[in-house]
Amino acid sequence: MADTEHEFVRSQMLPALAPPSSQVGAVRWMRENLFSGWANTALTLISAYVVIHFLWGMAPWWLHAVWNASSLPDCRKIIQTDFGPHAEGACFAVVHERWKQLLYGFYPDTEYWRPNLALILMLAAIAPILFSHLPRKLLAFSALYPFIGYWLIWGGTIWFPVSALLGFVIGGVVFKLLAEKSAVVAAGAGIVIAALWWMFGESWLEAALHAALPISLPSVESRDIGGFLLSIIIGVSGITLSLPLGVLLALGRQSNMFFIRSVSIGFIEFIRGVPLITLLFTASLLLNYFLPPGTNFDLILRVVIMVTLFAAAYMAEVIRGGLAALPRGQYEAADALGLDYWKAQRLIIMPQALKISIPGIVNTFIGLFKDTTLVVFIGLLDPIGFINAIRATSEWNGIYWELYIFVGALFFVFCYGMSQYSMYLERKLRTDHR
């Protein structure tokens, strides 16, 4: 009887079986996401029909593309010769012929190595800022890069950016010496001393150093800089400068000091209430009326300043939202630790506020980078400006989609990269372990 009781007890473990094919891989994903119900199935089929119909109609245009032709009529003749008298196709030959203008504008052909090197160094400079696992010592190069990049792109004597950098060094030394007494007084004194150096000491030192050791590159005028190079200069400069300025404006708007709060609120509300194109026209046409006669204030620099101020106002509101989202206990914890205002902001408050504000910050950056195309209205030939100029020529009169597709692809690469980095940063800083 005992043997009968243990007759159905297994003495060995069964080997693990593979899961059913409907529960793994692409089949499971499609069943859960595309065919989970009758409504989802219907929407999937309708969407598939629309996409296939669109691709089927666009396929001949892409497959008949021509990459080598001297004009639009030649391009159409090649398409009709190769694919029939009624065939249509893309004429990407315009991109093949004019890509230098679309990327560099009228920058001298023999000097293309300079913006190319500046772009490579820019990527190296922002790498330690974007990725914390890289050595912190590389941040010194990040701080020096704006001066290196300026010299590479605009050229001239190397002592101009060196003497300009010296102004920041002098201002920083003054700030460090006075910071223990009052951070506000130290910042103000540092700014004043640096400004005095740039007004009175910089030109003298630059001339003396250039006379002693003339190191220079051929100068390139700002009117020769255009295309996507111009968009990168304005976009990267605006992004880099608008974030710290936006942080200061957000803190100023929440300040207990009436004057600072009023100035911050007035600036933010005024800038947010004025279209960017109006500010660009102000930078292009009106700003010179307020400058001394004979002053040569570079147009690209004026545009960078206006774009930075515009983005900083929106950035301040994004960061203010992050500050408002923090519980009051974080501020009380900073007070309980005996931290002063700036240490509390640097160590406790601002890191959490910036973490909360990452999606809004990156969204503002992307919008700023795309808004650089508005400079076409003030006479700067960015990629959109060159599209209009190319389409006005007799060789390419009538071309349309090909140029906009190329420029749109360039902007998509940069904007998509910023979006993906934002998602990476959110995953890295996530603390809820979901």
pLDDT digits (tens, 9 = 90+) for 168-208: 899 888 888 887 777 778 888 888 898 888 888 888 888 88
pLDDT for 432 equals 62
Topology (CATH level 3) of domain 95-107+222-429: MetI-like fold (1.10.3720)
Its pTM stands at 0.85
pLDDT digits (tens, 9 = 90+) for 40-56: 999 999 999 999 999 99
d(CA 374, CA 382): 9
Task: Of 48-52, 302-306, 337-341, give the range with the top mean pLDDT.
Answer: 48-52
d(CA 40, CA 428): 33
**Of the candidates 153, 200, 193, 149, the residue with the CA atom closest to the CA atom of residue 169:** 193
d(CA 387, CA 99): 11
d(CA 156, CA 368): 29
Phi-psi region of 49 (alpha: psi -120 to 50; beta: other; left: phi over 0): alpha
pLDDT digits (tens, 9 = 90+) for 406-423: 999 999 999 999 999 999
pLDDT for 295 equals 63
Tell me the domain boundaries of the chain. Answer: 95-107+222-429, 157-217
Identify the sign of the CA torsion 21, 24, 28, 30.
negative
